[in-house]
Amino acid sequence: MVVDARKIDDFFSFDQILLDAPCSGSGTIYFKDEKLEKKFTTNLIQKSVELQTALLRKAIKLLKPGKEMVYSTCSILANENEKIIQQILKEKELEVIPINFKGIETLPLLPTKIEGTLCVAPNEFYEGFFIAKIRKIATSN
């Protein structure tokens, strides 16, 4: 299906969703880029936040109750990550599933405001990124 994900028909529902949302790319910035000020702007961040929020709301709408999704960006900015997740958690019946795996302690992690999410700091081995695993709570009718 080739379609803007925000426009997927509500007829569809999914057991799992990976939303690797378009973002500012703040975790992948090359700081010596002479054109950085022209490319990386507050306007880019704001447009990214608006698109990410719309995509996440749609994904949650299409996610079946009791099922899980992953939200990720290659941004390390709270505006594109924790703030969006926190807003959605207030609006919907969701829970964050903590991410944990062998070797996690070796990652260069940045602090996050949501327990169980990961924000990897860019360094000589990694590009920066954020990831959250979310479950849509099954409600009884």
Q: Is 22 helix (H, G, I), strand (E, B) or coil?
A: coil
Q: By C-alpha distance, which of 18, 10, 79, 17 is closest to 43?
A: 79
Catalytic machinery residues = 74
Burial annotation 77-105 (CB, 10 A radius, 16+ → b, else e): bbbbbbbbbeebeeeeebebeeeeeeeee
Q: What is the residue-wise DSSP string for 69-130?
A: EEEEES---GGGTHHHHHHHHHHSSEEEEPP--TTGGGS-BPP-SSTT-EEEPP-SS---EE
H helix or E strand, kind and range, residue 28: none
Q: Distance (Å, rounded) from C-alpha 85 to C-alpha 69?
A: 12
